[in-house]
Amino acid sequence: MSRRYWKSIEERDGGEDWLPADRDEFPEPLAVLPDAPGTLGRRGFLKAAGFGLAGTLAAGCQRGPVSKAIPFLNQPEEVMPGRATWYATTCGACSAACGLLVKNRDGRPIKLEGNPQHPLSRGGLCAVGQASLLGLYDRWRHRGPLKRGQPASWADVDADIVSALAAIRHRGGALRLLTGTIVSPTLSATIGRFMATFPNARHVVYDAISSSAILDAHERTHGRRALPRYHFGQAAVIAGVDADFLGTWISPVEFTRGYRDGRSLEGNPPRCSYHAQFESGLTITGTKADWRTRIAPGEEGPVLTQLAARVARRAGLAWPAGDVGMPPVPGAPLDDLAGRLWAARGASLVVSGCQDVAVQVICNFVNHLLGNYGRTIDINRPSYQRGGCDAALGELAAELAAGAVDGLLVAAANPAYDLPADLDFATLARRVDLLVSFAGSPDETAALAGYVCPDHHYLEAWSDAEPAAGCASITQPVLAPIGGTRAIVESLARWMDDARPAYELVRAHWESALFPRRIPVEPFETFWDTAVHDGAVELQVAPRESAASGTSAPLPDPVAAGAAPPEGALSLVLYPSVGQLDGRHAHNPWLQELPDPITKVTWDNCASLSPDAAASLGVREGDVVRIETGGPSPAAAALELPVYIQPGQHDRAVAIPLGYGRASTERFTRAGPHWLESQPGVGPNGLVGINAAPLIVFEGGTLRYGGRAVRIAPTGRRIELATTQRHHSIIEPRQVSSAGSRPIVREMPVSALSAQQPPPGATREGRGLWPDDHPYSGRRWGLIIDLNACTGCSACVVACQVENNIPVVGRDEVRRQREMHWLRIDRYFTDADESVDVVHQPMLCQHCANAPCETVCPVLATVHSADGLNQQVYNRCVGTRYCANNCPYKVRRFNWFTYARADAVENLVLNPDVTVRTRGVMEKCSLCAQRLLEARISARARGEPARDTDVRTACEQSCPAGAIVLGDLNDPASRVAALAKDPRYFQVLEDLNVRPGVGYLAVVRNRDADPGKAGHV
């Protein structure tokens, strides 16, 4: 037996199973640490992450925000959501009173268009008219009457005014009503009634841009103080002396249309009037002239005298007795002009904007010798578009100075702003006890007035107009007044205890006064409905004998050249700019951003000098100069304006646009985007531009805009003008020579038209090595622009801006060359001599068949349509700007910022049919694709084939000269197809073979063939 060894007592005693069962084999526990309570360990974290991820994925697919649709409770008959309604009315933007068609969409007007049935404007509408729509949605308009600057109730204000008027009436005090020209017969009648209730009341009418001298002259020569109607369409020879009748003079739209009729070259033989223009500054009228001559301000008299003398000689009339001194212009061409005028007796026209009555008398004398009265000049059916009498204004100023005026009402005028410093209206008006202003929006005069009884915007009011005798039109409201304003007629009537609303007043007046003059006898209802529907009606004019026989009128005295300005002095030319006129629309950003047709300056006014004058003064463009008027008047001490170098201006002239420096432009301080380096939107004076009106001279009973002697001294400061067309591109001769030979614009003498060369349009299509990308089996849209008809008036630019929701970018952005206009007007000086030729070229997307932009866009945001449009898809654009770089015409516009759309009221003007583009997106002319589509759809809905005559682009519709034609190039019957075969037809940069869908017709100057001028320039 083996002996047992043990190593411990426990082992010996315990036997084999000495290890207790409850003791586990490994005494020390495994170190597996549980997660500390409350903390989330790795596993926990992963778990949470997993669940979380799954959860978010599941919940991830959310919907967009819920959008609601709120229908009418009772839908009016004529209102159809999404459909536009059109109303005929009359434009109230200036005293020309053109016809309007207002596009109303979902109860608000969004676009103004010319009324084709209107006998004066005949479908055209100027830039100012187009833009005046925005004034309706102007947040800064008066919302109600003011009493000493504080808002008050109409009842309160009416009570005060009525009692004050009663007092005046009772003690026979002097009441004066100062207004601009009133074209509304109803308002005139009401004013007459109102004035008649006072023993000593007078209605003084003046125009900030006055034509008073013309009326005064006709009072002398024809015994009737009236502004004749000029029929440019019937004139074969036109001589303009300082009259910008295509731009701003009296009734530009009407005149432009007539002028274009006189130069329509489609006919065979082509009809092309001869136009000679004498002017100091450069106006768009001058740019269209066949013979333009620079004259110094104040030389209108001598020039007309010279012309009259030459015409008189041909008429066999010994006038003037004796010599009238050397002509300020070369005699030979003046002889030639006189010859042409004489040859076209009865079909010629001499107009002058000169404010010297003596000069106007000579002008009438010439026209009389030429037998134009009764033919191109209608004195029997006069125009009422300018009724101002400056002499009466002078008397009023005298009365005010003498403190002889107890009550002064101011309507449709802003005398505190636009009258010369000599009259010093602002100080005088403060002496009047009762000063009432009817200004619809805050202006310098309303600021002085004790009471402001704001008038409606003209789109809110019932009114009427008779711009020319025998042509009456209705102004009907297109939406309920936005604020608590009240029409002037209503106010005046109310103060005569006549509580009738404007509608009844107008209707009553038409029934009593206008209806009897209606030629076809019809019930008044019909007459009224016709008037409201068509917008305008023809009326009979009471024939009145006028001393039209000038022979009975005494021969006028010749006007010799005035005293030359002192040595080193220049003489001033104050002119209304096409966009601003007299400044009544200065609050309108569309017009502020509209480039001036001549200077291309926006958001500022400047002092234009001829290159020679600038050189002699040693100033460059943008230098701020101090313009000091000599003379006694202390008020008009000096202006400080940036210089603009203007080729084609007279070397002795310094031209300054009026209408700037309005107090209401303060609002533009923060116009445009704000960022690190952005500049304020206004000038150093906190306003847009400087008011030059104080420099107007009141002399000889008329307001004189030209001829004042001024001295100019550089201040050393500089301002970078916000011009849309860089000037150096024309000044640097090297550039011109290279740019000059480019096939951009084309000119030809009228003689070249008769020569039948093969139309270049014939061979144009179907060239090239490769088959066309775009067959255009159906329609191909094309646009043809007649450069000969285009006057550069820029109506199309604003029309495009309104139609296509193009943003206003502000002065600083324009200065950075980022204006957004889809349609711009390029202006080329085609001659280097001192009187330049100018060509205006509307430039827009050319809708090329081989469009360079389309190939380079990485995301197919710009592609070609089957009917020839170059389409830009905003929502697809990522904004590489490659297309804009690759565009030879540089017509593409990029949204550099989110342009301000903050003004909720102003946004009401947006066109709901056009996308409002966001930041970072390219945009450009779509050829009004929304209109093309609308026309196609409505035609299809009518079950007719869509004709290209159904649709007109915004620019085409607005053009007063009818220079733009849209149509189907594939339709041989269409007008564009015919024009594309015209010998004048050409395409810009044709040699690039981008094959534009937009073509142009060459400019034609009525000159003898001159190789220097013909061909490309």
Partner 1 sequence: MSSRLVTVVLLVGLSYNLLAVAPRIANWRLPGDHTDYEPAQPVAFSHRVHAGELQVACLYCHFGAERSRHAGIPPLNVCMNCHRFVTAPIGAVRAEDVLAVKENRRPLRIVSPEIAKIYRALGLGDNLAPDPARTPEPVAWITVHNLPDFVYFDHRPHVAAAVTCQTCHGPVETMERVRQVQALTMGWCVNCHRDATRRGVADRSANASIDCVSCHF
Partner 2 sequence: MSDAAALPVREPLILGDKSLAEVTGDICRPLDARPTALWWAGFLASLALLGLGVAAVSYQIAVGIGVWGLNRTVGWAFDITNFVFWIGIGHAGTLISAILFLFRQRWRTSVNRAAEAMTLFAVMCAGLFPVIHMGRPWLAFWMFPYPNTRGSLWINFRSPLVWDFFAISTYFTISLVFWYVGLLPDLATVRDRTRRGFRRRILEWLSLGWNGSYRTWLRYEIVYVLLAGLATPLVVSVHTIVSWDFATSVIPGWHATIFPPYFVAGAIFSGMAMVLTLMLVARSTMGLQHYITGRHVDVMCKLVIFTSGIVAFAYATEFFMALYSANQYEQFVFRNRALGPFAWAYWTMVGCNVLVPQLLWFRRVRANLGLVFVLSLAVNVGMWFERFVIIVTSLHRDYLPSSWAGYAPTSIEVATLAGSFGLFFTCFLLFCRFVPVIAMAEIKSVVGTPARPGKDL
* Site residues for partner 1 per CB under 8 A: 35, 37-38, 40-41, 43-44, 47-48, 51-52, 54-55, 58-59, 61, 63-64, 66-75, 80-83, 863, 865-867, 869, 871, 873-876, 913-915, 926, 929-930, 932-933, 937-938, 940-941, 943
What 3-state DSSP class applies to 745? coil
Residue 556 near residue 638, CB atoms below 8 Å: no
Q: Where are the beta strands (DSSP E) in 492-603?
A: 536-538, 570-576, 601-602
The Cα–Cα gap between 776 and 977 comes to: 14
DSSP letter string, 932-964: HHHHHHHHHHHTSPPPGGG---HHHHH-TT--E
Instruction: Name the residue nearer to partner 1 (CB basis): 34 or 267.
Output: 34
State in angstroms the smallest separation of the CB of 777 from partner 1.
Answer: 11
- Residue 813: name its binding partner from partner 1, partner 2, none (Cβ under 5 to 8 Å by kind): partner 2
State in angstroms the smallest separation of the CB of 931 from partner 2.
Answer: 25
What 3-state DSSP class applies to 735? helix
Instruction: Name the residue nearer to partner 1 (CB basis): 356 or 956.
Output: 956
State in angstroms the smallest separation of the CB of 919 from partner 2.
Answer: 5
Residue 331 near residue 303, CB atoms below 8 Å: no
DSSP letter string, 115-135: -TT-TTTTT---HHHHHHHHH
- Residue 866: name its binding partner from partner 2, partner 1, none (Cβ under 5 to 8 Å by kind): partner 1
What 3-state DSSP class applies to 630? coil
- Residue 43: name its binding partner from partner 2, partner 1, none (Cβ under 5 to 8 Å by kind): partner 1
Tokens of residue 1015, six digits = 């061909």
Phi, psi of 762 (to 5 degrees): -65, -50
Contacts with partner 2 by CB under 8 A: the residue count is: 62
Of the candidates 595, 810, 619, the residue with the CA atom closest to the CA atom of residue 723: 595
Ranges within 934-953 binding partner 2 (CB under 8 A): none
Which of 797, 922, 935, 966 touches partner 2 (CB under 8 A)? Answer: 922
Residues 6 or more apart whose Cβ sits within 8 Å of residue 564: none
State in angstroms the smallest separation of the CB of 630 from partner 2.
Answer: 39
Residue 202 near residue 349, CB atoms below 8 Å: no
Residue 390 near residue 212, CB atoms below 8 Å: yes
Instruction: Name the residue nearer to partner 2 (CB basis): 294 or 847.
Output: 847
Instruction: Name the residue nearer to partner 1 (CB basis): 43 or 728.
Output: 43
Residue 750 near residue 851, CB atoms below 8 Å: no
Instruction: Name the residue nearer to partner 2 (CB basis): 170 or 767.
Output: 767
State in angstroms the smallest separation of the CB of 64 from partner 1.
Answer: 7
Alpha helices, H only, 75-201: 127-136, 154-170, 185-196
- Residue 323: name its binding partner from partner 1, partner 2, none (Cβ under 5 to 8 Å by kind): none
Please report whether residue 117 would count as binding partner 2 according to CB under 8 A.
no
State in angstroms the smallest separation of the CB of 967 from partner 2.
Answer: 25
Ranges within 758-817 binding partner 2 (CB under 8 A): 813, 816-817
Residue appearing with tokens 């002028």: 259
Ranges within 666-705 binding partner 2 (CB under 8 A): 673, 675-677
Tokens of residue 403, six digits = 């403190």
Question: Which residues, in sequence order, are bridge partners of residue 623?
Answer: 718
- Residue 486: name its binding partner from partner 2, partner 1, none (Cβ under 5 to 8 Å by kind): none
Which of 526, 741, 754, 907 touches partner 2 (CB under 8 A)? Answer: 741
CA-only gyration radius of the chain, Å: 36
The Cα–Cα gap between 361 and 230 comes to: 16
Tokens of residue 459, six digits = 């789109």
Instruction: Name the residue nearer to partner 1 (CB basis): 804 or 974.
Output: 804
Per CB under 8 A, which region of 17-25, 277-285, 442-450, 917-925 contacts partner 2?
917-925
Please report whether residue 920 would count as binding partner 2 according to CB under 8 A.
yes
Binding mask 851-880 for partner 2 (x = CB under 8 A): -x--xxxxxx---------------xxxxx
Start-to-end CA distance of the chain, whole Å, equals: 138
Tokens of residue 46, six digits = 């992963």
Please report whether residue 734 would count as binding partner 2 according to CB under 8 A.
yes
- Residue 29: name its binding partner from partner 2, partner 1, none (Cβ under 5 to 8 Å by kind): none
State in angstroms the smallest separation of the CB of 500 from partner 2.
Answer: 54
Do the bridges between strand 274-279 and strand 237-241 make them parallel or antiparallel, or are there none, so unpaired?
parallel
Residue appearing with tokens 């070397």: 651
The one-letter amino acid code at 250 reads I
State in angstroms the smallest separation of the CB of 501 from partner 1.
Answer: 24
State in angstroms the smallest separation of the CB of 823 from partner 1.
Answer: 16
State in angstroms the smallest separation of the CB of 77 from partner 1.
Answer: 11
Instruction: Name the residue nearer to partner 2 (CB basis): 648 or 673.
Output: 673
State in angstroms the smallest separation of the CB of 818 from partner 1.
Answer: 23
Taking CA 291 as the corner, what is the angle to CA 285 and CA 297, rounded to the nearest 5 degrees?
A: 65
State in angstroms the smallest separation of the CB of 864 from partner 1.
Answer: 9
The one-letter amino acid code at 105 reads R
Binding mask 876-915 for partner 2 (x = CB under 8 A): xxxxxxx-xxx-xxx-xxxxxxx-----------------
Instruction: Name the residue nearer to partner 1 (CB basis): 48 or 547.
Output: 48
Per CB under 8 A, which region of 371-379, 460-468, 655-663, 731-739 contacts partner 2?
731-739
Instruction: Name the residue nearer to partner 1 (CB basis): 398 or 937.
Output: 937
Q: Where are the beta strands (DSSP E) in 321-367?
A: 348-352
The Cα–Cα gap between 956 and 931 comes to: 12
What distances in angstroms separate CA 603 from CA 94, 214, 580, 599, one per listed residue?
A: 21, 32, 10, 12
Residue 851 near residue 875, CB atoms below 8 Å: no
Binding mask 977-1006 for partner 2 (x = CB under 8 A): -----------xx--x-x------------
Instruction: Name the residue nearer to partner 1 (CB basis): 276 or 928.
Output: 928
State in angstroms the smallest separation of the CB of 269 from partner 2.
Answer: 34
DSSP 8-class letter at 95: T
Residues 6 or more apart whose Cβ sits within 8 Å of residue 888: 852, 989, 992, 994
Instruction: Name the residue nearer to partner 1 (CB basis): 38 or 566.
Output: 38
- Residue 989: name its binding partner from partner 1, partner 2, none (Cβ under 5 to 8 Å by kind): partner 2
Residue appearing with tokens 């109102």: 194
Which of 197, 729, 754, 907 touches partner 2 (CB under 8 A)? Answer: 729
Binding mask 380-419 for partner 2 (x = CB under 8 A): ----------------------------------------
What is the crossing angle of helices 185-196 and 502-509, to 10°? Answer: 100
Residue appearing with tokens 């005035």: 562
- Residue 994: name its binding partner from partner 1, partner 2, none (Cβ under 5 to 8 Å by kind): partner 2
- Residue 836: name its binding partner from partner 1, partner 2, none (Cβ under 5 to 8 Å by kind): none
Residues 6 or more apart whose Cβ sits within 8 Å of residue 696: 419, 420, 422, 574, 703, 704, 705
Question: Which residues, in sequence order, are bridge partners of residue 331?
Answer: none
Binding site for partner 2 (CB under 8 A): 673, 675-677, 725-726, 729-730, 734-735, 738-739, 741-742, 744, 813, 816-819, 824, 826-828, 841, 843, 852, 855-860, 876-882, 884-886, 888-890, 892-898, 918-922, 988-989, 992, 994
